Each structure stands twice: as structure tokens, then as C-alpha cells.
Amino acid sequence: MKSFSIKDLLQESPLGEKVEVNGWVKTFRSNRFIALNDGSTLRNIQCVVDFEQFDEQLLKQINTGAALKTSGTLVESQGRGQDVEIQVEDIFVHGTAHPEEYPIQPKKHSLEFLREKAHLRVRTNTFSAVMRVRSALAFAIHSYFQQHGFYYMHTPIITGSDAEGAGEMFRVTTMDPENPPKDEKGHIDYSKDFFGKETNLTVSGQLEAETYAMGLGKVYTFGPTFRAENSNTSRHLAEFWMIEPEMAFYELKENMDLAEDFVKWITRYVLDNCTEDLQFLEKRLLDEEKSKPQHQRSEMPLVEKLQFVVNNEFKRITYTEAIDILKNSKPNKKKKFEYPIEEWGADLQSEHERFLVEKYFKSPVILYDYPAKIKAFYMRLNDDEKTVRAMDVLFPGIGEIIGGSQREERLEVLQQKIKEFNIDEKELWWYLDLRRFGTAVHSGFGLGFERMVQFVTGMGNIRDVIPYPRTPQNAEF
């Protein structure tokens, strides 16, 4: 007898043969029909039990959530909703789930409720679909880079550098917090720490990726990233995964071309390989939309939205052009933004980004050439000496999904910038070395993995696209 995953069983459909499957009970109807799911696919296999042939005590153990092994003959199904079913001859109960205690019952649970049950929520259709798509997307990302001449590199998780200069870092120390070693002035003496200096969890692998690009040519990272920002939004996590390609000899234009080609390619991969899960997620969204007021409903169903992104050019405009549009726009009934754009140089809020993408252009937008003052120190200064070669890719429903730039490759200009940003040059001696030895034009960007998963699954809250979200007050699991 052959053991199958449910996906393979439905695919191969060996009618008349004896088969064996393992899985968790979704439902058990009329003491006769078990819907079994093993996570390999959204679909269940129906296992038909002739209750007269089985011990009553055994049948009592078959409740929603129980883990079973069943075997029997695969036959065509007479019932509606499935093509084949197993006529069960044998049942082995791996483990029971008490119906009054098991929280994931066959009814619609709210996403908020399921967040409290993060260890069990993957047994629901919604979360299993999202997590399969997440896995496929990760594979697509590696495939894209591996097929395009990039090398995968691992950057340190514990580091002494603050790549974004944003100061939103988790400290890492082996010191006793009650009694840290102090210097003569009474300051904490990090030189006595395990690492011999103050260290933190990485906020970005970019600076280290730059060092490898300037030797391997084209590299990418794909790793965990930590930001101690206390922002309780549906787009921010304290621990998220970021993909950061970095390319020697690329200017900003080529960086934009790569970013656009890359996100289209991985979106197409998901469209081609996750059809069943996407259709389910689309239907889920449409049901959810029905309960919303008309003006909040999305204009396009999920699959159509993904196809739109794959098939249309992203709109590219400079920050300065965006400011002109925003100054002259009436975004809503009140005809103004919550944070009106007063002048050139202001940072854009998400309401501005979403207006450009969702109302004005109705397309993904790449904004570039931002004011130097609102972007990180490492970005290449333009000849106007006011703007830098930065780019942000903005997506419908998400806002910023990618941030990137051409990097400052000129030693003196970079040193000047470091001074202006009040960063200690000594901390970045190795980074400056790149500009001393064989410096060259180079560029890169960072894609927020969870924001990309949100986009392709249509999930509204970032907490629902990562197995164990780390947000303020949430590290139980």
C-alpha cells in the first residue's frame, strides 16, 4: 500500500488502488464522512466510514483537530464537491483533540482571535493558504536571483553598525543588566562586553552586502531584520525579513529596472504556481469586501490586481514632480490631506503615497531623486547637491514595498555626509575602505518580504503573513 500526500493523491488519482493518507480532521459528518487535510493542499480528501464496521470508542475519537492515518480503496465519489474519496478500511488515531478544548472549530474565526492562537492557526484554510504562498514566494526570490547571476550571501545578525542611522535598534549584550561594568566617568563600558563594543541586532544587511558586491559583482541577502520601532500599524513588524540585492556598476536607472523586473517576476511565479490558494484568498477577500462600505472596497479582485502589476509599466516620477502633483490635488471629500504638503523637502506620509498610487496614477509608482535631508547618509548625491539618487517603489494597498538607492562611491563626498549626519567616521572605517580601494558606481535596494506577501495574498494586516509576528507586547511564542 502506498502512502500519499493529499495533494499527490488528488493529482495522481489512482482509482481502485489501496492508499494511505495522514492528516488532521476538518469535519466528521453523520458518523460517516471525514474531511481530512494534511497541509499539502487546500483541498481535503473525503474518507467514507462505514460506522458499523468500526468500534464506537474509536469513532468517538474522530473530532475536528484529531490527527489520523486512514487507509482504504480510492473510488469515484458519488457526492458533490469532490471527484474521489477513500472507502476507509483502517483508521489509526495518532492523537485526539477534545471538542470542548480545541479552539479551531469548523466555523469562521476572526483573524484577531486566530492571532491569539498563532500556534494552531496554520490549520485553517486562510493561514495554510497564506503560508504556502509565503513559501513559494521565498523560493521565487531565490530562483530569480540565482538565474540572474547573483550570489546569495549571509550578513551578520549581531553587528556594531547602524546601517540606516535611524537609531531604532535592539541592543545585544552579555552584560549583567543589574551590574554592567562602568568606566571612570560612570558610563557603561562596552569594551568589557563579550563583543568588545556596543552591538545590536541588524536593521539592514546593506553595508555588508555592498562590501561583497564590490568583489562578487552581484549579491543578494535574504534574512531577518530587526527594528525597535514602536509603531503599531498593519505594515510594521519589529522582526521582519528583507531581501537586499546589491550590484556593482549599476546606476539608479538600472536599479529601478531591476526592482521592477524582479517584483513582476516573483508575482508571476506566484500567479503560475499558487493558483488554487490565490483563488481561495480572492474569494475570501470578496466575502470580506461585502461587509465594507462601497468606497472602501477594492476595485480589482486579487488575481486581476496581480496580473495588472505584472503586465503594466510602473510609473516613474521624481520626488519634485510628486510634490507638484500633491500640492495641486484634492484627495478626498474634505479636499485636503491630513498632513498637507507645505513645501519641497517634507517627507511623504503614507496618505500621500497611497494617493499617488491608488487615485492619481492607479499603478505602482517608483519615486526617485529625494531630498538628501530625508534619506540615509550613504545615498549618491546628485549634481544639484540637494537631492540623492534614492528610489522607493510604492504599491497599491501597501505603500512603500521597496526602498533603495545608488550609493555614494566618492570618498570625500561620503566623508562629508557622514559628518553632516553626526556619525562617527571611525565606526565606518571598513565601509570607507571600499571607497579607497577600487571604488565604483553601485546600487541596491531592499524589499520587505512580509509586505510582498501581503500584496500577493491580499491580507490587510502584516501580523497575518508571518508565522509568529513580533510586534510591541508580543513575543509569547
Partner from Mg ion, ligand 4AD, none contacting 251, C-beta within 5 to 8 A by type: none
Partner from ligand 4AD, Mg ion, none contacting 446, C-beta within 5 to 8 A by type: ligand 4AD
Q: Which is nearer to ligand 4AD, 10 or 414 (CB)?
A: 414
Binding residue for Mg ion, selected from 331, 399, 403, 448, defined by CB under 5 A: 403
Longest Cα–Cα distance of the chain, Å, equals: 86
Partner from ligand 4AD, Mg ion, none contacting 164, C-beta within 5 to 8 A by type: ligand 4AD
Q: Are 364 and 396 in contact (CB under 8 A)?
A: yes
Q: Which is nearer to Mg ion, 49 or 391 (CB)?
A: 391
Q: Are 469 and 462 in contact (CB under 8 A)?
A: yes
Q: Which is nearer to ligand 4AD, 58 or 374 (CB)?
A: 374
Partner from Mg ion, ligand 4AD, none contacting 89, C-beta within 5 to 8 A by type: none
Task: State the nearest-atom distance from the C-beta of 401 to ligand 4AD, in Å.
Answer: 5
Distance CA 129, CA 464 (A): 11
Task: State the nearest-atom distance from the C-beta of 148 to Mg ion, in Å.
Answer: 24
- In angstroms, what CA-CA distances link 177 with 173, 180, 181, 188? 9, 6, 10, 10
Partner from ligand 4AD, Mg ion, none contacting 168, C-beta within 5 to 8 A by type: none
Report the C-alpha dihedral over residues 55, 58, 60, 65, rounded to 10 degrees: -150
Distance CA 398, CA 350 (A): 9
Burial class (CB in 10 A: 0-12, 13-18, 19+), 188: middle
| H-helix or E-strand spanning residue 338 | none
Partner from ligand 4AD, Mg ion, none contacting 145, C-beta within 5 to 8 A by type: none
Q: Which is nearer to ligand 4AD, 41 or 405 (CB)?
A: 405
Sheet strands (E) in 30-159: 33-37, 45-48, 67-76, 84-95, 151-152, 158-159
Burial class (CB in 10 A: 0-12, 13-18, 19+), 389: buried
Task: State the nearest-atom distance from the C-beta of 164 to ligand 4AD, in Å.
Answer: 5
Distance CA 270, CA 80 (A): 29
Q: Which is nearer to Mg ion, 45 or 366 (CB)?
A: 366
Binding mask 347-386 for Mg ion (x = CB under 5 A): ----------------------------------------
Task: State the nearest-atom distance from the C-beta of 409 to ligand 4AD, in Å.
Answer: 15
Task: State the nearest-atom distance from the C-beta of 79 to ligand 4AD, in Å.
Answer: 44
Partner from Mg ion, ligand 4AD, none contacting 406, C-beta within 5 to 8 A by type: none
What amino acid occupies position 59?
L
Where does this chain touch Mg ion (CB under 5 A) — which range of 66-74, 343-351, 400-408, 428-436?
Answer: 400-408
Q: Which residues share a beta bridge with 100?
A: none
Task: State the nearest-atom distance from the C-beta of 220 to ligand 4AD, in Å.
Answer: 10
Partner from ligand 4AD, Mg ion, none contacting 401, C-beta within 5 to 8 A by type: ligand 4AD
Task: State the nearest-atom distance from the C-beta of 462 to ligand 4AD, in Å.
Answer: 6
What residue is closest to Mg ion based on CB? 403
Partner from Mg ion, ligand 4AD, none contacting 451, C-beta within 5 to 8 A by type: ligand 4AD
Q: Which residues make Cβ contacts (< 8 Å) with residue 469, sequence separation at least 6? A: 115, 118, 237, 462, 463
Task: State the nearest-atom distance from the C-beta of 375 to Mg ion, in Å.
Answer: 8
- In angstroms, what CA-CA distances link 388 with 124, 131, 253, 377, 471? 46, 37, 13, 10, 32
Partner from Mg ion, ligand 4AD, none contacting 19, C-beta within 5 to 8 A by type: none
* Beta-carbon count within 10 A of 343 CB: 7
Q: Does 448 bind Mg ion (CB under 5 A)?
A: no
Q: Which is nearer to ligand 4AD, 123 or 375 (CB)?
A: 375
Task: State the nearest-atom distance from the C-beta of 233 to ligand 4AD, in Å.
Answer: 9
Partner from ligand 4AD, Mg ion, none contacting 445, C-beta within 5 to 8 A by type: ligand 4AD
Q: Which is nearer to ligand 4AD, 198 or 400 (CB)?
A: 400
Contact footprint for ligand 4AD (CB under 6 A): 163-164, 204, 206, 227, 229, 236-237, 240, 242, 244, 400-405, 444-446, 448, 450-451
Exposure string for 201-227, b = 16+ CB within 10 A, e = fewer: bbbbbbbbbbbbbbeeebbbbbbebbb
Q: How far is CA 176 from the centre of its chain?
A: 35
Q: Are 6 and 41 in contact (CB under 8 A)?
A: yes
* Beta-carbon count within 10 A of 160 CB: 14
Query: Which residues would be at the binding site for Mg ion (CB under 5 A)?
Result: 403
